[in-house]
Amino acid sequence: MFEYGILPPAMFAAMVAFMLFGFPVAFSLGAVGMLFAVVGLVGGFFDPSFMNALPLRFFGIMSNDLLLAIPFFTLMGAVMERCGLAEELLEGTGKLFGAIPGGLAYAVIFVGAILGAITGTVAASVITMAMISLPVMLKYGYNPRLATGVIAASGTITQVIPPSLVLVVLADQLGKSVGDMYLGAIGPSILQVAIFAGYIAIMSIIKPSSMPALPVEARGELNMKLVLKVLLSMVPSVALIFVVLGTIFMGLATPTEAGALGVVGAMVIAAINGKLTWPLIRQGMASTMQITSMVVFILVGSTIFSLIFQGLNGSLWIEHMLSGLPGGQIGFLIFVNVFIFFLAFFLDFFEIAFIVIPLLAPVADALGINLIWFGVLLCVNMQTSFMHPPFGFALFYLRSVTPREIPTMDIYKGAIPWLCMQLLLVAIIIFWPESVTHWLDKGPKIDVDAIRIEVPGFNPQGGGMGSAPAGNGLPALGPLGGGLSGPPKINP
């Protein structure tokens, strides 16, 4: 525990204590870091040369082009949230599935996935779907726990489905490509939607009274006109998703450039719907500024903390503790996921990503764990932070727009099955890594140890490199054509 002194564990404990007391995360991290820097300097446990790197780290944060994707994706989501697309999708999809038990729940799940891909924010997805779908679900006899649970859970899919802001942050902290992180998240996103839909299918058989079908007068006739209406309402969303993700996957744009294209596309869609107004743009920019400022301040605070922590040998302390866990990789993964699951009761996903991931990534890399797979796994785990009773943010958002007739305890109880399903996905990814790695571009396999480099010499007949030196001590050069016979050959 104290192989590297008492300061690393004390610093980590102080950080946890500040979090539990509710102090602002960014300033708490910076304050704890500077306090232990002073203690380390006084006690002779901290090399002051580490502080010389702090300005360079600040400059690195401000000049990081990858982080520019965060305000772009946030602004794109803010514009899409207010352009009326979600209302059309929910209304049409609800009527399309309304003839079967649980039809509205299916509609909420699928629309939640689409909104997750184009808005990127849990608050927008949960509040939008709750305001539109919840009154209809309650009116036609849906169980309140089921209705609130499916809405909250479907909103959290946003965290896993590309282009998720969490995946951008994780890629930056792990030093990996955002495009690879997005590719790795495709499988878990599909699995998450399938697990949610499968649960509704099972419950509609076991207890159909909790999710009755809509009457004909509410859903209308199921005909080609309704199908075309739903499909046409999806065209703008699909086009925007292709602009953002397709350009990244095909290598046509960086994540930052794709985010800028997404903002332009969102404004075009808002203009087509007649919703592109100055108040909409102003509100979108205000929310973007708030989120981006929060991220930058947390990142600056976490940089101070991590630098001081590293200077006190904290990274070696963490690596020593976690690499020695019983069970090897599996033991490490179980511990990390349990730790993050409970940490998510108290911390936001940005805070976990900036504080915890830099401490865990070196250990995972040392154990031979694929960091893309590791990042996607932690992203799936961190989405549970939105569903934790009683601290889950998705539950707070839902409570703010839910009728007072529904007790808060019903919202909490309704979230538990969906929280278990999210944990089930964590277990699936651990024991079935191909659910993430299958989508990655593996590229040609080259055994570096088997590569042999041959550098041919000059023509021996003309006095090549292997011939005796001339009288001046230099190798004798042969006639034209007797020099190097070609470029170096690499034989794998």
DSSP states of 32-62 as a string? HHHHHHHHHHHHT-S-GGGGGHHHHHHHHHH
In the chain, where are the structural domains located? Answer: 53-443, 449-492
Residue 363 is given by DSSP the state H
Asked if 414 and 153 count as a contact pair (C-beta separation under 8 A), the reply is no
Helical H segments across 344-407, by residue range: 349-355, 357-366, 371-382, 393-401
For the packed helices 178-206 and 371-382, what is the interaxial angle rounded to 10 degrees? 40
Instruction: Answer yes or no: are the C-beta atoms of 481 and 459 closer than 8 Å.
Output: yes
In angstroms, rounded to a whole number, what is the distance separating the alpha carbons of residues 293 and 414? Answer: 34
Reported as type and span, the H/E element at residue 439 is none
Give the number of other Cβ atoms within 10 Å of residue 127's Cβ.
20
Listed residue (98, 132, 115, 94) closest to 204, CA to CA: 98
Residue 121's pLDDT is: 67
* Rounded CA separation 161/191 (Å): 11
CA 168-169-174 angle, to 5 degrees, is: 100
Q: How many helices (H) and strands (E) does the chain have?
A: 23, 2
Residue 5 pLDDT = 67
CA dist., res. 263 & res. 145, Å (int): 36
Cα dihedral sign, 365-367-368-372: negative
What local confidence, expressed as pLDDT, does residue 197 receive? 93
Per-10-residue mean pLDDT, the chain, length 492: 70 80 78 88 82 82 78 82 72 78 87 77 74 82 89 85 83 86 91 93 89 76 74 78 83 85 88 84 87 82 84 78 75 87 74 81 87 91 79 78 83 90 91 86 50 54 45 42 42 42
Query: How far apart (Å, rounded) are the C-alpha atoms in residues 250 and 295?
Result: 28
User: From residue 262, how far is each of 77, 170, 257, 414 by CA, in Å?
Assistant: 9, 20, 9, 35
Residue 212 φ/ψ, nearest 5 degrees: -70, 160
Instruction: Provide the 8-state DSSP code for 276.
Output: -
pLDDT of residue 467: 44
Q: Which of 197, 166, 193, 196 is nearest to 182 (CA)?
A: 166
| The dihedral sign for the CA sequence 123, 125, 129, 134 | negative
> Can you give the pLDDT at residue 477?
41
Q: Based on C-alpha coordinates, what's the Rg of the chain?
A: 28
Given its phi and psi angles, is residue 477 left (phi above 0), alpha (psi -120 to 50 degrees) or beta? beta
Angle between helices 122-139 and 69-81 (to 10 degrees): 20
CB atoms < 10 A from the CB of 472, how many?
7
Please say whether the beta carbons of 192 and 160 come within 8 A.
yes
Structure tokens at 169: 């942050």
**CA separation for the pair 86, 110 (Å, rounded):** 11
Residues 302, 263: Cα–Cα separation, whole Å = 29
Helix, strand, coil percentages (3-state) for the chain, rounded to 5, are 70, 0, 25
For residue 358, what are its two tokens?
């830099």
Contact 418, 149 (CB under 8 A): yes
Supply the DSSP string of 92-113, one letter for each residue: HHHHHHTTSTTHHHHHHHHHHH
Q: Is 469 helix (H, G, I), strand (E, B) or coil?
A: strand
CA distance 9 to 32: 13
